[in-house]
Amino acid sequence: MSGAPDTLAISAAARDALQTWLDHQRALKGAAENTLTAYRGDVTDFLAFMSVHHGGTQGLGALAKISISDMRAWMAQTRNADVGPRSLARKLSAVKAFYRWLAEREGFEATAVLSTRAPKFTKKLPRPLAIDAARELIDCVEVQGRDPWVGLRDVAVLTLLWGCGLRISEALGLTGADAPLPDVLRIKGKGGKERVVPVLPAARDAVNAYLRACPHSLEPRVPLFRGVRGGPLSAGAIQKVMASARMQLGLPASATPHAMRHSFATHLLDAGGDLRAIQELLGHASLSTTQAYTAVDTLRLMEVYNSAHPRA
C-alpha cells in the first residue's frame, strides 16, 4: 500500500468505537480539544491503513487480530510518507491508548499493538532566554506597538509568560473577571488540571497599565486581552510581535512566546528554586517534563567548564 490512507474504508463500527473513546477522553480525562483533534487524526489514519492493508472495510473483530507484521507495515508506510520519528512516536502513542481502551471493552488481547516500540529520537531541549534578553524583548515590544495601549498589552502578556510561567493559551484565556489580578491565579491548564500561580507585582503592574490604557470595555465574561478591533487577542498576534522584536534585537528564532515560559523555569532553577515546586507552577503532569530544564542548565554548566577550566 502507498499514498494517503482511504478513510472511507473504515467500518462504521470502528468509527463509532473511535468516537466513543474520544468522548471518554473528553469527559473522564479532561483531554483538551487540540489533543482530541490530534488523537482523531492519528487513529483514523491508522484504522484506514489497516482496512486497506487487509483488502477492505473490516469490523472490530478484524482489529483484534492485528499482528506484529501489520504494525511494522503501518510504521514503514508512515515513515515513507516523510513522517519524522517524533511524529511517528506520537501517532503510535495515540493508537496504543485507543487499543488499550478498545481491548478492555471488547475483551481481546492487544499485545501486538501495545508491544510495538516507538522509534528513537533526540528529545529537543527548551532554549531559554538569558535574563537580559528577556528584559530587552519586553522593552522592545512596548515601543513597537501601533498604538501605545497595544504596546502595553503585549508587555502584559509576555510578562505573564515570563513572570508567572503561563502558557500563551492560559494568558489569553484570562477574562475580565480576573482583573485586577489577585495575588494568586487559579489556572486551568492541559487536561483541565488546575494549579495555583503566584502573581508577581511586576506582572500585576503590567496588566494594570494595559487595562488603564485599553479603549475597549472590560466585562467579566470577555477576554482580558483584546485585539485592535476589540475581539479576542490571538496567539498568532503575539508570535508576530515577538518575531519582529527578536529580529530587531538579533535574537535567534527560538526566542518565541513559549521560550518566555521556558525562561521562567530556568531562571527559577538558577536562583535555587525547588524542582517539584516549579513542576507545580508550570502545571506539568510529570516531573520528567520539568527535568528537561535541569538538562539545559547542565549543558550550560558544561560549556562554561570546558571553556574556562584551567585543565580544559
Q: Which of 125, 36, 38 is nearest to 89 (CA)?
A: 38
**Rg of the chain, C-alpha, whole Å:** 24
Question: Could you say which of 153, 167, 195, 262 is catalytic?
Answer: 167
Rounded to the nearest integer, the mean pLDDT of the chain is 79
Q: Report the run of H or E that residue 34 belongs to, with start and end.
A: helix 33-53
Rounded-to-integer distance, Cα 99 and Cα 187, Å = 32
1 assigned to some structural domain: no
Same domain, 205 and 252: yes
pLDDT band at 197 (very low <50, low <70, confident <90, very high): confident
Rounded-to-integer distance, Cα 268 and Cα 296, Å = 13
Annotated active-site residue 53? The verdict is no
Does 163 have pLDDT greater than 60? yes
Rounded-to-integer distance, Cα 86 and Cα 118, Å = 9
30 assigned to some structural domain: yes
Same domain, 16 and 152: no
Taking only the tens place, the pLDDT of each residue in 246-273 is: 888 888 887 888 788 777 655 444 444 4
The total number of structural domains that make up the chain = 2
pLDDT of the residue at 58: 67
Question: Could you say which of 54, 96, 216, 258 is catalytic?
Answer: 258
Same domain, 89 and 175: no
122 assigned to some structural domain: no
Question: Could you say which of 26, 86, 190, 216 is catalytic?
Answer: 190
Question: Could you say which of 153, 195, 261, 262 is catalytic?
Answer: 261
CB–CB of 145/214 below 8 Å?
no
202 assigned to some structural domain: yes
* Domain containing residue 178: CATH number: 1.10.443.10
* Domain containing residue 28: CATH number: 1.10.150.130
Same domain, 297 and 185: yes
Taking only the tens place, the pLDDT of each residue in 62-81 is: 888 889 999 999 999 998 88
Structural domain of residue 88, as residue ranges? 7-114
Rounded-to-integer distance, Cα 110 and Cα 180, Å = 52
Annotated active-site residue 190? The verdict is yes
CB–CB of 213/152 below 8 Å?
yes
